[in-house]
Amino acid sequence: MDGSGEKKPAKRRSQERVLQRDPERTRAAILEAATREFAENGMGGARVDAIAERAGTNKRMLYHYFGDKEQLYLHVLEEAYVGIRTAERELHIGDRSPEEGIAELALFTWRYFLKHPEFLSLLGTENLHRARWLRQSVRLKELHSHLIVELTEVLDRGKKTGVFIDAADPLNVYLTIASLGYFYISNQYTLSTIFGRDLAEKGNLDAWERHIVHVTLASIKA
Amino acid sequence: MDGSGEKKPAKRRSQERVLQRDPERTRAAILEAATREFAENGMGGARVDAIAERAGTNKRMLYHYFGDKEQLYLHVLEEAYVGIRTAERELHIGDRSPEEGIAELALFTWRYFLKHPEFLSLLGTENLHRARWLRQSVRLKELHSHLIVELTEVLDRGKKTGVFIDAADPLNVYLTIASLGYFYISNQYTLSTIFGRDLAEKGNLDAWERHIVHVTLASIKA
DNA sequence: CCATCAAGTAACTGTTTGGTTACTGGCCGG
DNA sequence: CCGGCCAGTAACCAAACAGTTACTTGATGG
């Protein structure tokens, strides 16, 4: 997100000169810095000064673009949800056989969680506060119905052809997949400590990936 | 913990009179208040003044008994781990058939999590900080080997009688049980919000309890 | 019965924090 | 070519914070 970014031509006029004033770039930098700061320290631990410094700007701009710390946090959270749901939508789990579709969703979810620990961390923070900010969000409520609808279709198709049990419930299936991925990754530090095994090791990660697919399918297979 | 607690007779001398100075009671009150404060607000959000007030004492005592905020937090965390592992040990999952033993462990874990959300919250906080404080703890490392040993025995017995698959791994089984319980409870607020279904409702909780047992057994049954 | 020491209180301190104010400088329309 | 506007800066502020100091109270053993 940083580093390789070419200087944007700044809407108003195309110019090659290094622009200090680039509102969109500044805004994006703040959002990205805030994502990291909130993910690493939680709402209570995140520091506004630290976000400004990480973004290479200062607090004035942060308050200018986002109002206050809480609104900035909500923006970060919304962006994170949009990120996973957007990627998920491009899967088209209905294009294959029901079993392959479910396996694909499980793999995608696991790998997305693994690649975006900051998303899991934000979820953790938000739940600590009982979804205080998420509940205020208007944008996000409908973002999720798509997932359940698509999953319902895949499961129904599998039930008709007799590969899935009738009791298979779409929400339960998704929660099962998400549970197994979320817990392993977000709790890896305490788990590795108390069980004396490094869960982040490649071999263990691969084994758990296979385990998730196995468990998910085993729980709904006829 | 409060309210119904009879006045302790204060070691040194039995007396019915209401004692203001009762070191053990004060210590316990601080620990209990700190547990709630840390669970509700995380390490970064917890306030030392709030803990003192909740405990009905003041900061001086808190620093007197526990050193500083971080050490107090570590005490709280250790206490929480000792709590679940102690209760778990009394299960004796080896006393029944292997299948019943695993089901029993799954039920126990789910119900313990449900009854002690503050434990889940503390785990979340500790993992946010990558087990920074837990790693310092000497007491806790061996507390967990017992669980794995007992679980290994139960699984081996099931493998011999042919009810479990050979690939069944004790750590994986425990992680599966814990994942399904942890995620559902600790993420109930965001999940209920985005899916528009109240996961804390009795019917849903009971269904998930059955689901956990079903999934766990389905994943290891021959 | 009083000297001693631990339990307990409250007011204080230096620092950090979220948020603000007063200011600078570049750009664009008229 | 200039007046107003908007991106950006830095110094500032009051409140909140973790941790401390100076003090009071009460039980107990010699």
Averaged pLDDT, A24-53: 92
| Residue A3: HSE in the Cβ half-sphere, 13 Å Cα cutoff | 1
- Percentage above 70 pLDDT, chain A: 90
Residues A141, B43: C-beta atoms closer than 8 Å? no
What is the pLDDT of chain A when averaged over all its residues?
88
Distance from CA of A127 to the nearest CA of B (A): 6
Residue A190 touches partner B, C-beta closer than 8 Å: yes
What gap in Å lies between CA B211 and CA B177, rounded to an integer? Answer: 11
pLDDT value of residue B21: 65
- DSSP-derived 3-state class of residue A17: coil
Strand D reaches within 7 A of the A8 CB? no
Rounded distance, CA A138 to CA A50, Å? 28
B193 CB-side CA count, 13 A? 21
Tokens at B1, concatenated: 């913990």
Is the ipTM above a cut-off of 0.90?
Answer: no
Say how far apart CA A84 and CA A210 lie, in whole Å. Answer: 21
Interchain proximity B193–A123, CB inside 8 Å: no
The one-letter code for the residue type at A26 is T
Largest CA distance in chain B: 64
The pLDDT value recorded for residue A167 is 95
Model pLDDT, residue A20 = 56
Q: Which nucleotides of C are covered by protein (CB under 7 A)?
A: 6-11, 16-22, 25-28
> Taking the alpha carbons of A47, A48, A49, A55 in that order, is the dihedral positive or negative?
positive
Where do we find the tokens 């004060």? B26
- C-alpha angle with apex A55: A34 to B133, nearest 5 degrees? 50
Residue nearest to nucleotide C25 (CA to C1'): A21
Tokens of A155: 């499961």
What secondary structure does DSSP assign to B98-136, as a single string? HHHHHHHHHHHHHHHHHH-HHHHHHHHHHHHTTTTTGGG
CATH 1.10.357.10 fits B75-220, yes or no: yes
Length of chain A: 222
In angstroms, the CA B14 to CA A173 distance is: 59
Between residues A168 and A142, which one has the greater pLDDT?
Answer: A168
User: What is the per-residue pLDDT for B30?
Assistant: 92
Mean pLDDT of A81-101: 95
User: Residue A222: pLDDT band by 50, 70, 90 thresholds?
Assistant: confident
Q: Which residues of A touch B81 (CB under 8 A)?
A: 194
CATH architecture for residues A20-67: Orthogonal Bundle (1.10)
Amino acid at position B54, single letter: R
A124: phi then psi, degrees, rounded to nearest 5: -60, -45
State the DSSP string of B171-202: HHHHHHHHHHHHHHHHTHHHHHHHHTS-TTSH
Q: What are the residue ranges spanned by the domains of chain A?
A: 20-67, 69-220
Q: In the predicted model, what is the mean pLDDT of residues A170-191?
A: 98
Among the listed residues A110, A106, A80, A112, the one whose alpha carbon sits nearest the alpha carbon of residue A93: A106
CB pairs under 8 A between A and B: 151
Distance from CA of A8 to the nearest CA of B (A): 35
Closest nt by CA–C1' to B59: D19
Q: With contacts defined as CB-CB under 8 Å, which chain B residues touch A48? A: none
Cβ contact B45 with chain C strand, < 7 A: no
The residues facing A221 across adjacent strands are A164
Question: Residues 132-191 of A near strand C (Cβ < 7 Å)?
Answer: none
Closest chain A C-alpha to B207 CA, distance in angstroms: 9
Q: Which residues of chain B have pLDDT under 50?
A: 1-19
Comparing CA positions, the residue from A75, A72, A32, A70 lying closest to residue A54 is A32
Assigned CATH class of B19-67: mainly alpha
Q: Quick check: B47 CB within 7 A of strand D? A: yes
Q: Which residues pair with A164 in a beta bridge?
A: A221
* Chain A residues 193-212 within an 8 A CB cutoff of chain B: 193-197, 207-208, 211
- Gap between the Cα atoms of B133 and B130, Å rounded: 8
Q: Would the CATH topology of A20-67 be identical to that of A69-220?
A: no
pLDDT at residue A21 in the model: 63
Residue B20: CB less than 7 A from any atom in strand D: yes
Instruction: Report CA A40 to chain centroid distance, whole Å.
Output: 15
Answer yes or no: is A61 CB < 7 A from strand C. no
Cα gap B81→B119, rounded to integer Å: 8
CATH topology of domain A69-220: Tetracycline Repressor; domain 2 (1.10.357)
Helix (H, G, I), strand (E, B) or coil at A180: helix
- A11 has pLDDT over 60: no
Distance, angstroms, CA A22 to C1' C25? 14
Q: Do B176 and A130 touch (CB under 8 A)?
A: no
% chain A with pLDDT above 90:
74
Q: Is A218 exposed, middle or buried (0-12, 13-18, 19+ CB in 10 A)?
A: middle
Which amino acid belongs to residue A74? L
According to the model, what pLDDT value does residue B118 have?
Answer: 97
pLDDT of residue B19: 42
Chain D: nucleotides under 7 Å from a protein CB?
6-11, 16-22, 26-29
